[in-house]
Amino acid sequence: MKELVLLTSFLIAFAIGSNDASNALSISIGAGVIKFKKAIFLFGILVFAGIWLNGNRVMETVGKNLIQVNPETLGFSLFISAVLIILSNWKKFPLSTHQIIIGSLVGNALASNSLVNFFSLFKIFLSWIISPLVAVFISFFIYKFIKKFFLKIAFFKMEQLLKTFLLISASLISYNIGANEVATVLGPVVYSGISINFFLLLSISSLLVFLGAYILSNRVIETVGKGILPLDPLSGFVAQISAGISLFLFTLLGMPISTTYCMIGAISGIGMTKGLHTVKLELLKKIIFNWGITLFSSFFLSFIFTKLFLLS
């Protein structure tokens, strides 16, 4: 079962790259600030730095405080998570990998009669609701303030500043994907008692995140970067920095929250400054519906497959 757990955790790392690179890179690429290949290489380096330097608290929350990890059945829940993430990416829908992973882990724990800390689960649910709202408010007020500031700057200087700011904010999101997203899937692996070199685990996972981003992320980048709200470089910078701040704050608290939630919340906050008519609400409804379907699907599939395995 050790092999299955490691294989599926690496598959999820690949899936995270295919889905969550869009949150870090879509706006910079969509605004023409950086080319796709250069952006992906930057993303891969920062993901590794994030998981190495700041991933420990989220790993502890998911792998130790939320559930009692059962290494014999853990591979099933991780495999289901990976398949659902990749399918959602293929449909061009950004989603929360956290929802899928947490849903699968809880379904697996309940099916195998392992302990579930429902207070920790409640805190995670609460953080999923609060974090995008925090991103909405941050982006709303930052956009109002920054727009006035940039009106006083010459156009050429403003353009150069925005390119720099977009890369900085994209770097912050990339770092947090490592510290939060990748940490969420590696937490159960680390605390399952499976014997593997920690540095090697992080290195392989980061490499697969990079490969997932390189091979598949262009599909979701199109949806996030252009589909929800037409973004100019200024709006893109505000969205990324607002999502990055919200994500980093919750990462410091050890909460496994969604980069996707925060990014879409931040983009919606900018839309509110321009009028709700500029936001494609129908697309947002489809994305939210997809989140709900994948959360319940991951829980029930993990529960059923674990039960079937234990009965066999």
> Model pTM?
0.84
Is residue 75 within 8 A of residue 235, CB to CB? The reply is no
* DSSP letter (8 states) at residue 31: T
pLDDT value at 225 more than 70: no
Domain boundaries, position 107: 2-311
User: Is the pLDDT higher at 224 or at 26?
Assistant: 26
pLDDT at position 272: 81
Name every residue whose Cβ is closer than 8 Å to that of residue 122 and which is 6 or more positions away in sequence.
none
Give me the residue label for tokens 């998911």.
62
Distance (Å, whole) CA 237 – CA 235: 5
pLDDT at position 36: 78
Identify the three-state secondary structure at position 116: strand
**What's the one-letter identity of residue 295?**
L
**Residue 297 binned pLDDT confidence (cut-offs 50, 70, 90):** confident
Distance (Å, whole) CA 150 – CA 310: 61
**Residue 155 binned pLDDT confidence (cut-offs 50, 70, 90):** low
Number of H helices, E strands in the chain: 13, 0
Give φ, ψ of 153 to 5 degrees.
Answer: -110, 145
pLDDT at position 229: 54
Average pLDDT over residues 198-225: 77
Q: Per residue in 269-279, pLDDT tens?
A: 888 887 666 66
> How many structural domains compose the chain?
1
DSSP β-bridge partners for residue 67 = 116
